[in-house]
């Protein structure tokens, strides 16, 4: 029997390289259908023809189906572990290289930038790269502008030092921004860059099939430098850390075996 979701997935992959087959089908199909139901088309096949013709429709669609929820200092207890246990060890690296994989609009990457600046001093040598499959959030991240809601867990003294208050939110200051770069990257498709001291991949692979999730974790483990750390989300875990050269170090944090 024809499966229009599979046909749609094949078309989308041809068009964008994005592989819906690596995402949990039930969740993703529900999200896509509820979006398409509100469009002036008869179904997925006609919707595919629409996004084939219009880059703007395609971008809006991708923006809606990727879940970009984030905020600075999301799950503060995780960052506290990072600050007290991992950052002291990272000091030895020069520069310290951090990757926020699936960074959404940059809140996680900016949080790490605040933390390293606070802990190591403003002149510390570190680079943070944020990447996401969704081009629109990558552009947002580059601006470094965050709403009041995004900033609600940021300690006041950190907020005052590294951000400037504006009418509708907070703008990251240049001293913080210059540590950060953002790029579009598909964790299921693109080759990973090598040599990271810390990789954060939080609340991203929860939408992936188990197989895709394990592949991503394996790929991330590979590009960590020996002794480097991988931090996952507060509801996640690496299925078999030892099999991919990692060892559990702290809650939700794994160390690459040297």
Ligand X SMILES: C[S@@+](CC[C@H](N)C(=O)[O-])C[C@H]1O[C@@H](n2cnc3c(N)ncnc32)[C@H](O)[C@@H]1O
Q: Which stretch binds ligand X (CB under 6 A): 52-60, 114-122, 140-148, 180-188?
A: 180-188
Helix (H) or strand (E) holding 137: helix 135-143
Q: Which is nearer to ligand X, 127 or 257 (CB)?
A: 127
Q: Which is nearer to ligand X, 10 or 257 (CB)?
A: 10
Q: Which is nearer to ligand X, 136 or 177 (CB)?
A: 136
Q: CB within 8 A of 197, min separation 6: which ones?
A: 90, 93, 96, 97, 98, 224, 225, 228, 229
The least CB distance from residue 27 to ligand X, in Å, is 12
List phi, psi (to 5°) of 130: -115, 140
Exposure letters 76-90 (e unless 16+ CB within 10 A, then b): eebbebbbeebbeeb
Q: Which is nearer to ligand X, 108 or 197 (CB)?
A: 108
The least CB distance from residue 132 to ligand X, in Å, is 5
In whole angstroms, what is the distance from residue 29 CA to residue 35 CA? 10
CA atoms within 13 Å, Cβ hemisphere of 73: 16
Taking a C-beta distance cutoff of 8 angstroms, is the pair 106, 114 a contact? no
Of 1, 69, 149, 156, which one interacts with ligand X (CB under 6 A)? 69
The least CB distance from residue 242 to ligand X, in Å, is 25
Q: 3: which 2 tokens?
A: 């499966």
Q: What distance lies between CA 109 and its chain's CA centroid?
A: 9
The least CB distance from residue 14 to ligand X, in Å, is 17
Of 28, 47, 96, 132, which one interacts with ligand X (CB under 6 A)? 132
The least CB distance from residue 92 to ligand X, in Å, is 26
Sign of torsion over alpha carbons 213, 250, 73, 123: negative
Q: Which is nearer to ligand X, 116 or 187 (CB)?
A: 187
Contact mark string toward ligand X, 88..117, x via CB under 6 A: --------------xxx--xx---------
DSSP reduced 3-state for 58: helix
The least CB distance from residue 101 to ligand X, in Å, is 7
Q: Is 78 in the site for ligand X (CB under 6 A)?
A: no
Contact mark string toward ligand X, 154..173, x via CB under 6 A: --------------------
Binding site for ligand X (CB under 6 A): 66-70, 74, 102-104, 107-108, 132-134, 137, 186-188, 202-204, 233
């Amino acid at each position: 029997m024809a499966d229009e979701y599979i046909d749609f997935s094949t078309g989308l992959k041809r068009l964008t390289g994005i592989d819906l087959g690596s995402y949990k089908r039930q969740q993703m199909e529900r999200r896509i259908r509820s979006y398409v139901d509100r469009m002036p088309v008869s179904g997925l096949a006609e919707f595919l023809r629409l996004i084939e013709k219009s880059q703007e429709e395609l971008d809006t669609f991708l923006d809606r189906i990727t879940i970009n929820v984030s905020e600075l200092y999301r799950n503060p207890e995780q960052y506290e572990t990072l600050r007290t246990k991992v950052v002291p060890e990272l000091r030895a690296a020069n520069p310290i290289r951090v990757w926020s994989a699936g960074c959404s609009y940059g809140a996680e990457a900016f949080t790490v930038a605040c933390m390293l600046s606070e802990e190591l001093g403003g002149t510390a040598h570190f680079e943070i790269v944020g990447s996401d499959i969704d081009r629109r959030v990558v552009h947002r991240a580059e601006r470094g502008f965050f709403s009041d809601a995004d900033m609600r867990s940021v300690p006041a003294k950190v907020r005052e030092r590294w951000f400037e208050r504006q009418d509708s939110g907070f703008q990251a200051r240049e001293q913080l921004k210059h540590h950060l770069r953002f790029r579009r990257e598909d964790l299921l498709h693109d080759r990973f860059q090598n040599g990271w001291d810390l990789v954060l991949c939080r609340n991203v692979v929860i939408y992936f099939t188990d197989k895709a999730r394990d592949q991503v974790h394996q790929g991330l483990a590979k590009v960590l430098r020996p002794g480097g750390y991988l931090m996952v989300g507060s509801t996640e875990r690496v299925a078999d850390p030892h099999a991919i050269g990692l060892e559990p170090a702290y809650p939700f944090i794994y160390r690459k075996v040297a």
